[in-house]
Structure 1
Amino acid sequence: MTRTEHETSRWRLVWRQLPLLIALVALWLFLWDHIDVLTITTGVLLAIAVTRVLYLPPILLSGRFNPWHGLVFGLRMMGWVTVASLQVGFLAVNPRWHPMNSIIAIQLLTRSDLVTTLTAEATSVVPGTVVVDIDRERGLLYLHVLGTRTAADIERNRLQVLGMEEGIVLAIGTREQAASVREARRARRAAGRSAAGSGRESTRSSKGDPS
């Protein structure tokens, strides 16, 4: 790599990290609740120290934001939270309900630390699900899920988490990540149609069986 290419790569890295630095400075200003030269200066220095001195996994922002997919993800999150809140509220007052919960492992589609963290945060916001562990190397989320009596309940929660990851990637992920989750979504839909078709064939076969 030539010196010019190295400098270009370095400045590209700084540009991608700039939103994170700005967010840390903004958080510092919110904590102090006033803005002056000293507060801004200390906020900038602390933001640089946090991102450069302390040991943190490298987080590279894609530099991309899709407003439409961001809006869709926000609306879907509100729907998930609303439905889950009603379900948990009903279970809490239902005298016949007996708790049956599960710890389930969900394989994420990406290995991005940022996407994994945001997916875990979004999952924990929805009532009835709590992230208990993350396997960063293998991209696994371990969740404690409320009310999982059947395999269908577990699959529904798995698809919901994958839907959250998909929404986050389509909103702020790289183009490569977006293409990957779209391909995985098409594969899931194709598998679902195939399973539904097989189920209908089995039903027709059983009805036509004279035995």
Structure 2
Amino acid sequence: MSGPSESARDAAGPPASGRGRLGRWRDQTAALGWLVVVWNLLWGDVNWANAAGGVLVGGAVLAFFPLPAVSFAGRLRLRGLLVFAARFAVELVSASLHVARIAVQPGYRPRGAIIAVRLRVPTDLNLALTAEAVSLVPGTLILEVDRDSGTLYLHVLDTHGPADLGAARERTRTVERRIIRAVGSGVELRRVETDESERGTSP
């Protein structure tokens, strides 16, 4: 009885290894693409020179500073990606105008605060994507990421009370929800949607 079982395992070995290599290449390609996008956003201009520079810098980062393996178990959803991109652009412009108003308003001293936001999908990929998306919006800065508990610690600019702190936490969870709707797995999407229905908030 042990012979057939061992033969079956031996026969299944090479395909699994191939899928593992394919998965690693896919993850590396996705990581490089995201680094190129972040590089262009940091420069504030999308052109061929910045794209080429992003490929070089991203390749160097992945080669010399390898990150822990982060698998992608979700799937791309075009509608979710478009909604995320549109809402992100609107929030980017709105937050930029708000920070600019604070900078030029005479005698105004904004109060900052540090808050903790525990994400509903504590995977490495979701932590990284949510942290990047939140930190790219002016007025919010990621200070620390607790990988074990799936918690982001943020510095938020211009807060006046508990209502503003609650709004900042909700904005972060909204960004997470949009990311999951764009690239999350079915299980992750159900987890986010179930949590929202229990909280009674609109998507």
CA distance, structure 1, for counterparts of residue 65 and residue 161 of structure 2: 45
Task: Establish whether residue 30 from structure 1 lines up as the match of residue 52 from structure 2.
Answer: yes
Q: Could you tell me whether the CA contact under 8 Å between 1:17 and 1:61 is conserved in 2?
A: no
- Pick from 120, 129, 137: which aligns with 1:118? 129
Normalised by the size of structure 1, how large is the TM-score?
0.72
CA distance, structure 2, for counterparts of residue 33 and residue 113 of structure 1: 22
Q: Aligned-pair distance for 1:154?
A: 0.7
- Pick from 137, 150, 157: which aligns with 2:168? 157
Q: Could you tell me whether the CA contact under 8 Å between 1:104 and 1:154 is conserved in 2?
A: yes
Aligned pair count? 177
1:58-73 matched pairs, under 5 angstroms:
58-62=69-73, 64-73=75-84
- More divergent stretch after superposition (67-76 vs 88-97): 88-97
Task: Give the structure with higher Rg (CA).
Answer: 1
- What root-mean-square deviation, in Å, do the aligned CA atoms of Structure 1 and Structure 2 show? 3.1
- More divergent stretch after superposition (116-125 vs 79-88): 79-88
1:1-211 matched pairs, under 5 angstroms:
2-22=9-29, 30-31=52-53, 50=63, 56-62=67-73, 64-189=75-200
Q: Aligned-pair distance for 1:6?
A: 4.6
Name the CA shift for 1:23/1:115 in 2 (closer, same or farther; >3 Å).
closer
In percent, how many aligned pairs have the same letter? 31
Normalised by the size of structure 2, how large is the TM-score?
0.74
Deviation readout 1:172-207 (Å, 9 max, x if unpaired) = 1111111111111212226x9xxxxxxxxxxxxxxx
**Structure 1, unaligned stretches of length 5 or more?**
35-42, 193-211
Q: Could you tell me whether the CA contact under 8 Å between 2:32 and 2:55 is conserved in 1?
A: no
Name the CA shift for 1:31/1:99 in 2 (closer, same or farther; >3 Å).
closer
Q: Could you tell me whether the CA contact under 8 Å between 1:16 and 1:62 is conserved in 2?
A: no
CA distance, structure 2, for counterparts of residue 116 and residue 158 of structure 1: 15
**Structure 2, unaligned stretches of length 5 or more?**
1-7, 37-50
